[in-house]
Amino acid sequence: MSALKINNDSFEDEVLKSEIPVLVDFWADWCGPCKMIGPVIEEIAEELEGSVKVCKVNVDECRDLAIQYKIMSIPTLVVFKDGEIAKEVSGALPKDAILDLINN
């Protein structure tokens, strides 16, 4: 399964009410580093299907969410557990670093 595209309406149900951890990729079409890690995010979504939900939030389309979560630069990856932010990191990371972010 590929990463789920989230918007303002689906964020609460898909992320905050999720029973499994959620990795949220805050990104934009015009962002070079976002495009670099896009395929890696999709790989992780497939590999961890069932144990971790992977979602993408386009900050241009979902400005309210970007403001609410104080996203200052993109890409920003946020791990949510039980509706709360567990970890957050900005910048294009290699796959192992993203997996470490999720697993630790």
Q: Which of 6, 22, 31, 79 is catalytic?
A: 31
Tokens of 16: 């905050």
- Exactly one of 15, 22, 23, 34 is catalytic; which is it? 34
Is 34 an active-site residue? yes
Told to judge if 55 belongs to the known catalytic residues of this protein, a careful annotator would answer no
Widest Cα–Cα separation across the chain: 32
Amino acid at 20: I
Q: Where are the beta strands (DSSP E) in the chain?
A: 4-6, 22-27, 53-58, 76-81, 84-90
User: Quick one: tokens of 76?
Assistant: 């920003």
Query: Which residues are annotated as catalytic?
Result: 31, 34
